[in-house]
Amino acid sequence: MSFSARPRSMFVQNSWYVFGWSHEVAEPKGLLGRVIIGQPIVVWRDGEGVLHAMEDRCPHRHAPMSRGKVHGDTIRCMYHGMTFSTRGECVDMPLVQPAPDCRLRTYPVTERDDWIWVWTGEPGGEAAIEVPRAIGINAPGRPMMASQIEYDAHYQLLHDNLCDLSHVDFVHRESLKRATGADWAETAPRITHRDRGLRFERWFEEAELPGKPELKVDTWIEIDFTFPGIFVMQGERHAAGTAAACNRQRPLGIEPLMRNFEQQAVTPVGANRTAYFYATGLSGNTSETDAHVTRRMAVVNAAFEEDRQMIEAQQQIWNLTSADHTKHFLPQDKGPFLMRKLVDKLLKAERG
């Protein structure tokens, strides 16, 4: 078994990608331009609030539509005034009648779980591939806080990071490890295959929580990681002994002391630039959930800054390293390895 020595320079096209948070284009007539998988795309809401996604490149002189303006259900390029319908047809241009061959590519777009998803693949292909499931950040009684950053690194280095949480013990020893009270590198999760993704399950038993030495808990962790980089984690804290009582299986029907939720998405921008959207939340028998979420978000923000520094430094080393330089494979690389294998398979299928 081996890693491909260097990240692929191409992207899987046939996929739903997280373009951004729904609240980034909150209002009717809002516009947001972004480059994802090397393609300039504009997402906008018409006057009724309905979402549309298009090529962010006016067919006239390739100015960005995202510097344009929305009028009713049309979007106008504010360089020379070309105006397009929601189907990408030019419906107005100065001086002459719009030509039928003057079109903008449109992208299927949808909102789900508070993310805006864009289909970048072959038209019509979107029906065959489900939008990956996440959690949503606005469920009642289960508040989540959302944020985002960008990394100067290849997206597969972020996949690797998320598919092997043994790094919590090292990169996040002062942040997430302390908060969880668990030893992430000493045991491996159970990994099973899912459609275009993996499931990671594990128990941490008899963990001590920070500031509460009298309380021991068993923690159940369940993570779904779905291509193209959707990380959904649910954690449950149970009374010590629950893991054994469940025979180390999923704690079905047992109400936990507390639940926590993580919703994260990795979206490639370009070869070595990657966007990362994340949210954290919890629910449980606490009278001060909001304050608890705020404290948790501070820990998460600190942790992802730790990741960013490590992964960007790692990318710098990769940049200095020849493609055939050996990497050593460990058991905890099983998740990253299976995910890279899946990406390779998807790329190969597209290259046909």
Q: Which member of 71, 87, 193, 327 binds a copy of itself (CB under 8 A)?
A: 327
Total H helices, total E strands in the chain: 5, 18
Window 9 to 28, contacts with a copy of itself (CB under 8 A): none
What gap in Å lies between CA 135 and CA 131, rounded to an integer? 12
Tell whether residue 160 is a contact of a copy of itself (CB under 8 A): yes
- CB 197, CB 225: distance < 8 Å: yes
Single out the residue of 19, 20, 56, 235 in contact with a copy of itself (rule: CB under 8 A). Answer: 56
| Residue of 2, 9, 47, 80 that binds a copy of itself (CB under 8 A) | 80
Residues 230 to 259: which contact a copy of itself by CB under 8 A? none
Q: Does 59 bind a copy of itself (CB under 8 A)?
A: yes
Q: Do you find a cis peptide bond into 268, omega within 30 degrees of 0?
A: no
Q: Is the dihedral of CA 343, 310, 221, 290 positive or negative?
A: negative
Which residue's CB is nearer to a copy of itself, number 22 or number 175?
A: 175
Under the binding rule (CB under 8 A), the answer on residue 102 touching a copy of itself is yes
Q: Which residues contact 199 (CB under 8 A, 6 or more apart)?
A: 191, 192, 193, 222, 223, 224, 225
Query: What is the per-residue binding string for a copy of itself in 283-302, x denoting contact by CB under 8 A?
Result: --------------------
Does 62 engage in binding with a copy of itself (CB under 8 A)? Answer: yes
Hey, which residues between 168 and 197 contact a copy of itself (CB under 8 A)? 169-171, 185-188
Q: Are 64 and 80 in contact (CB under 8 A)?
A: no
Please report, as a single letter, which amino acid is at residue 121. G
How big is the site for a copy of itself, counted in residues (CB under 8 A)?
57
Interaction with a copy of itself in 35-54: which residues (CB under 8 A)?
Answer: 35, 38-40
Is residue 77 part of the contact set for a copy of itself (CB under 8 A)? Answer: yes
Place of tokens 């692929």: 8
Say whether residue 341 binds a copy of itself (CB under 8 A): no
Backbone phi, psi, residue 181, to 5°: 70, 10
In the complex, least distance from residue 209 CB atom to a copy of itself, rounded to whole angstroms: 23
Please choose, from the candidates 258, 343, 244, the residue with its C-alpha nearest in 3D space to the C-alpha of residue 11: 343
- CB 28 to a copy of itself: min, Å: 21
Q: How far apart are CA 312 and CA 310, in angstroms?
A: 6
